[in-house]
Chains A and B, each alone.
Chain A
Amino acid sequence: MWLLILIIYISISILEIYKYIKLKQIRYVCVYMAIMGVALVIGLCISLNIDIISPATIIKRFIFY
């Protein structure tokens, strides 16, 4: 299911940034792709069952230990 979700993400990204690529607004494309890239990496880790330390755990450890 997660692979399907990832394919949908990539399709949406291409559709959305196409306008900005055509207008040659590279900064917009870079920012968009950077955020989407982080989202895709997390999505890929979920789909491949790779354990990631969640931000909540990091913050909890930082505060209490």
Chain B
Amino acid sequence: MSREVISSKQGISIMILFIIGSTLVVGMGSEAKQDSWIAIILATLIAIPIVFLYSRITNIYSNKNLFYILEKVFGKFIGKIISFFYVCFFIHLGALVFRNLSEFTNIVIFPDTPREIPLIPMVILCTWAVKEGIEVIGRWSHMILILVLGIVILGTFIFSIPKMDAYNIFPIMSNGVKPIVIAAISIFCFPLSEVVIFTVVFSSLKNGTNRFKVYLIGLLMGAGGILISTMKNILVLGGVGSVNKYFASYNANSLITIGSAFERLELAISLIYLVTGFVKISICILAACKGVAQIFNLNNHKFLSTPIVILMFNLSIIIYENTMEMVEWAFKVWPYYSVIFEVMFPLVILIVAEFRNGIFKDKIKGL
């Protein structure tokens, strides 16, 4: 198969949409209440060294994806076992996004429709996108990014100004630093460190691209979008008000009225969710397909998109009993589970890769 290539701008666009993904609708940092904006800034600062770690791993073996690197670093057998766990993680992540989407549509848009039905168009679209390849997803993301960031996030923020109360962000740190740190760790794990998936996808970046720059700009802009949205929710709904809602952005936007002409701008949030959810699920499918293809030494990964997307879809139906369980899982369980794949494994991979490539070896010899 010929190598697919995306530009750095397309890479950044995919990453921003991926980070904004389900976060914008599900919300985050509930532990910190009105201080969740501080938690987002703190989480972004923690995430910067981690994206340096990811970019360093992919820089050592340029143009190669995480699964290839795993086999190179740990050998075929152990590499394939760790690859299998990563594939499961990506499939699980895709299923979670599917489920978030179905919960959202089931609660706010189609309450009487079975939750499988609204997902079917998304399943078909994502399968199609992955079969077309990362180039198509990249071009599409680059085109749609202006709509998501410019019109929807900034637009809804500006239109919400009449409904905002600046006193909603006070008192700052009234509950101490602990809830902010807990919220920051939660935000760090979901969604900022989920960009570990780009160690698979960014093997398609043009030769000579500065990967750290792509990671950093993507991270900062994605986190910036989330920060703007969270600030809007806090200022409009208040700290407790934004925590009590399952879909705070949707509720904050539903209060927007511009004269009597423009109302019900919460549809903008639904639009963002569909667009960003599509990108996030497609990237998860693509990464899982590449992983399975690498494990079984297959040259073509695209043909696997159909069974993997169907597996994700089925998994999304059984994964939670209800919305409360989904929210509990996202905030309480996900950080412990994801940190293994987002921090621990990459750290070990980097250390072993540096040893294998002689960087540490030379230093030890010099002692």
Contact = CB atoms under 8 A, between A and B. Distances in A.
Contact of A54 (B297, B303, B311, B320): B320
Interface of A: 1-2, 5, 9, 12-13, 16, 20, 27-28, 31-32, 35-36, 38-39, 42-43, 45-46, 52, 54-56, 59-60, 63-64
Chain B at the A interface: mostly helix, strand, loop or mixed?
helix
A32 B310 CA distance: 12
A46 B333 contact: no
B304 A56 contact: no
Contacts of B317: 42, 46
A28 B303 contact: yes
Contact of B296 (A1, A9, A31, A54): A31
A56 B333 contact: yes
B292 interface: yes
Contacts of B306: 12-13, 16, 36
Given A1-B116, A20-B303, A31-B304, A42 B311 contact: yes
Contacts of B114: 1
Contacts of A31: 292, 296, 298, 304
Contacts of B333: 56, 59-60, 63-64
B319 interface: yes
A56 B336 CA distance: 12
A17 to B, nearest CB: 8
20 contacts: A2-B116, A5-B116, A9-B310, A13-B306, A13-B307, A27-B296, A31-B298, A32-B304, A35-B308, A42-B314, A42-B317, A42-B318, A43-B310, A45-B318, A46-B317, A52-B318, A55-B315, A56-B319, A63-B333, A63-B336
B92 interface: yes
Given A27-B296, A38-B311, A32 B303 contact: yes
B77 interface: no
Contacts of B311: 35-36, 38-39, 42
A33 B314 CA distance: 16
Contacts of A35: 292, 304, 307-308, 311
Interface string B312-331: 01110111100001000100
A13 to B, nearest CB: 7
Contacts of A20: 303
Contacts of A16: 303, 306
Nearest to A44: B314
B100 to A, nearest CB: 12
A5 B296 CA distance: 28
A35 B314 CA distance: 12
Looking at B304, B307, B319, the one whose CB has the most chain A CB atoms below 10 A away is B307
Contacts of B92: 55
